[in-house]
Every structure is written in C-alpha cells, then in structure tokens.
Amino acid sequence: MLQKIKESAEFLHRQTTYSPEVGIILGTGLGGLVNEIEIEHSISYEDILNFPLSTVEGHSGRLIFGKLGGKQVMAMQGRFHYYEGYTMGKVTFPVRVMKLLGIKRLIASNASGGVNPDYKVGDLMILSDHINLIPNPLIGKNMTELGPRFPDMSDAYCPTLIAKAEAIAKAHNIPVKKGVYIALTGPTLETPAEYKHMRIIGGDTVGMSTAPEVIVARHMDIPCFAMSVITDLGVPGKIKKVTHEEIQQVSEVAEPKLTLIIKELIANI
C-alpha cells in the first residue's frame, strides 16, 4: 500500500508541480466550494494512478489544485465510502497521498443526520469529537514511515482551528453548533431505535464518513477540522423518510455559509 501511495503522490507532483498547504474533502452536495478556488489543475480520479473512483451521486470525483483564501490547496470534490465496497485503506488512500504532497492541515465537510433534539435541518455543526463505528482504517500492518502503531486521538479535531471557525461564524452572524459526530457504515439510513442508541452513547449527528479520514490524518500528525450540514433529523417525533436527493438539496442550501467559514478559516491559518 505504501508503494502505491508514493506512486500516486509522485504522479500528481509530476502533473501539477504543486505544494498544497491545506487538504480539503468535500462531502455530499458540498462540492460548490470548488467555485471559490482559483483552479490551476483539475484531474479526474479515473486519471490518477492507483486512485479509486467515487460512485455516489453528488460526488463529482475530481482532485482540484489551486488557491483559496490566499493558500495553496488541494480539494477532493467527492470522497470514498466503506459502503461503496472499498477497503478502509482505499477509503483513506487520498489522505495519505495528500500528506506526501505536503499538506499541513486537513479540512473536511459532510452531510449528517441530527440526533440532538436542539438541532434542526439546515444547521451547521463543527465537529468537536467523533465516535467511529466503521472499521478502523489503521487495522493491519502499521506503516511506521507515516505514523506510530498506537496514535493518540485525544485531540482528533484541532482546538485552535475550532476556535478560529467559531470566531468567523460569530463575526458573520452565522449560527453554528458544536458536537460529536458518529460514523456508521451505511448505506442504510438509521432506524428510529438506532437513532435513539446513537444519542444515548453521546452522539449529536450521524453520518457515513469523515472519522476514518481524520483517524488517518491524525496518524500522520495532521491537524484536522470538520463541519457537518444537518440534512435530516433522527429525533423522536421528527423522523421522516428522506432520500439521498433531499439530503443533497439541503446541503446545497446551507453550502454558502459553510463555504464562507472554510474560506476564511483557510485564510487565517
């Protein structure tokens, strides 16, 4: 796996001669942040050596290189999920490649279901922590060249980046929540009993991504920041059937606020 990671990084370096400072992962319906990037290179996943392909609607499947907030960035316009049938090594493969290309920070976004009764559809939540119920991506032989066998996760999400984002949101009168994200395998949305369970064990939102990517980033000592758009509710009395298309629509409505926060956050790093 390490050799394939190096091959992909070398391939992208030859294609772009770029040294990104920040890596960005854009979730369901949140690919519009790319419109704010001064794009220098845009490469389809299918054209990148060893890269998997995104199979989910709302995930464009392109790697973008350019400037955002005055910083050199690389952005995944679409991510990979365990439920697509990929191994956890493949799901987190791009984060490994980002590290070898030189990123110093990782910023991720996602669409998630709120289980906190104080949340409503369209809210933004800054991740303060997560509970990972997807298989851990570090299971197997450790790549000691990239990180330790037993990485500490007491600061999975960078307190400094969180404080900066909260200040930005406050300055623009954008309400934000802060809470715990629970990562599940999917692809089914949760049953009412499962939603209740997620709240009991300490979750504020549930989703199918982000935590594995953050685990791998922290393994490589990359500070992380992540935000969720609350696209549906798993709260007793507020649960209703929801489609992937409706989740995309809610994400797209909330996207301008999330984009503003992330753009200014990157400018202030």
Report which secondary-structure segment, H or E, holds 139.
Answer: none
Strands (E), the chain: 22-26, 38-44, 62-68, 71-77, 105-114, 124-132, 177-183, 205-207, 224-233
Q: Give the C-alpha separation, 66 to 40, whole Å.
A: 5
Two tokens at 256?
């301008």
pLDDT at position 56 is 59
Q: Are 53 and 60 in contact (CB under 8 A)?
A: no
Pairing of strands 177-183, 205-207: parallel
Q: How many CB atoms lie within 10 A of CB 43?
A: 17
Q: How many CB atoms lie within 10 A of CB 3?
A: 8
**pLDDT of 23:** 97
Query: In the predicted model, what is the mean pLDDT of the chain?
Result: 92
Residues of the chain with confidence (pLDDT) below 50: 58-59
What is the chain's percent helix, strand, coil content, to nearest 5?
Answer: 35, 25, 40
Q: Which fold has domain 2-267?
A: Rossmann fold (3.40.50)
* pLDDT, tens digit (0-9, with 9 covering 90-100), for 35-81: 889 999 999 999 999 998 776 554 468 999 999 999 999 999 989 99
Q: Which helix (H) or strand (E) holds 21?
A: none
**Contact between 229 and 5 (Cβ < 8 Å):** no
Given this model, what pLDDT does residue 60 score?
64
Q: Give CA–CA dist 178/268, Å, rounded.
A: 20
- Domain residue extents for the chain: 2-267
SS3 of residue 32 by DSSP: helix
**Burial of 18 (C-beta count, 10 Å sphere; 0-12/13-18/19+):** middle
